[in-house]
Structure 1
Amino acid sequence: MPVTWMNRPPTPVSRLATLALRLTGWTPVLAPPPGPKFVAAVAPHTSNADFWPGIAWRWATRTPAHWVAKRELFRPPLGWLLRAWGGLPVDRRRTGGNFVDGVVEVIRREAEIMVAVAPEGTRSRTEGWKTGFYYMALKAGVPIGVTVLDWGRKRVGVVAYVTPTGDIDADFRQMAALLEGVRGHTPANMGPVVPLSRETPSVTQP
């Protein structure tokens, strides 16, 4: 039985994507979402090769998965391709140049959305995660979907959800525990699941 978003019926495209994943040894996973919106922390992201199981998972599960970038990147003709791959433009001018607040505005605007963020911010090794994704979820009042690209066990997708509390260290410990044993495509590029910075944002619930 295909794993799909909110038990949506599979389509020919989703069946084909599921078949492609399984034929290449991958298992798509999608823990039942607690609601129609969340921020996905996608990890570990250690190689360009992560793109293909990730985009196949999106098609297979019919999940409203999107990634965000500044609106200037979405000019045609490239913008058409970026949108087809799940890109959403963020107009930072509407939020005083603050990218996190711009994404929060997008989350509040959409009826359902999964905002996918690679918190390492690079395919190279880092000593922690950037925290923008955390504050997007905290400010928007939505959970964080811990989303794995596990090349060791060939699993891709959302394994669990963490509700951000504002205690960033405690919340990161939860995410680290959920990622224990997960192996990236290039293990040498994997870093610890700890926050690189801490903020004290003004949180306005939706």
Structure 2
Amino acid sequence: MLKIISKLALRILGWRLDGKLPELDKYVLIGAPHTSNWDSVYGFLGAGAIGLRFKWIAKQSVFPGPLSPILKFFGGIPIDRSVRSSIISRMVELFNKRDKFVLGLMPEGTRSKTEFWKTGFYYIAKDAKLPIAFAFLDYGKKRVGIADLILHPTGDIERDMVVISNFYKGMKGKHPEKQGKIEVKPVE
């Protein structure tokens, strides 16, 4: 039923659904570009339309009182962002405990323009020895979906980010002026 409702909603809103679910039991799913609160709406509709159930993480303050159980029902996992390394190890542990698990993340980490992408998604996938799949929103063409492209992290994050950047090149967020370059912060 959720598939039908999601497909209908996307059609009414004028969006096209592209791609299909990866034939994998476990993977990290990154979504970009992220420039608006509407990204989550279209992202959840796209996921519903292809039958994807996934978990996502957000800072604890997003899970207030009575909303917390609802957000958790829809896959939310509250986290303490002040301890970066524990987030990565906690997510790797969750992957290791389950036979099927998809973790959806928006590496820009915010709707504002960023100079660099957050790299937690990469290290979660690398440490859990899992592939990275690519979800996308392209407001320019009104497309939402998951690409056929699967990236197996090599450990060379800069090289792998070139693959990621090339995939998302040309896709427009709702507010293109808020899109930053797809790069990682250089190690000093």
Question: Fold conserved (TM > 0.5)?
Answer: yes
CA-based RMSD = 2.5
Code of the aligned partner of 1:120? E
Displacement of 1:91: 8.8
Separation (CA, whole Å) in 2 of partners of 1:70 and 1:48 = 15
Distance 1:29 1:66, change over 3 A: farther
Code of the aligned partner of 2:170? G
1:86-101 map, 5 Å: 86-89=75-78, 98-101=86-89
1:51-200 map, 5 Å: 51-69=40-58, 77-89=66-78, 98-159=86-147, 160-196=149-185
Displacement of 1:77: 2.5
Code of the aligned partner of 2:95? I
Distance 1:24 1:122, change over 3 A: same
Percent identity of paired positions between Structure 1 and Structure 2:
37
Aligned-partner SS, 1:101: helix
One of 35, 38, 41 as aligned partner of 2:30? 41
Deviation string, structure 1 residues 60-95 (Cα, Å, up to 9, x no partner): 122122102467876752221111222135699xx9
Displacement of 1:189: 0.3
One of 5, 10, 13 as aligned partner of 1:16? 5
Contact 2:3/2:49 (8 A) holds in 1: yes
Separation (CA, whole Å) in 2 of partners of 1:146 and 1:55 = 14
Deviation string, structure 1 residues 2-33 (Cα, Å, up to 9, x no partner): xxxxxxxxxx2211111111221112233451
Displacement of 1:54: 1.0
Unaligned runs of 5+ in 1: 1-11, 200-206
Distance 1:197 1:118, change over 3 A: farther
- When the two structures are superposed, what TM-score results if normalisation uses the length of structure 2? 0.88
Distance 1:112 1:69, change over 3 A: same
Separation (CA, whole Å) in 1 of partners of 2:63 and 2:90 = 15
Contact 1:90/1:102 (8 A) holds in 2: no
Which structure has more relative contact order (CA 8 Å, sep 6+)? It is 2
Unaligned runs of 5+ in 2: none
Aligned-partner SS, 2:44: helix
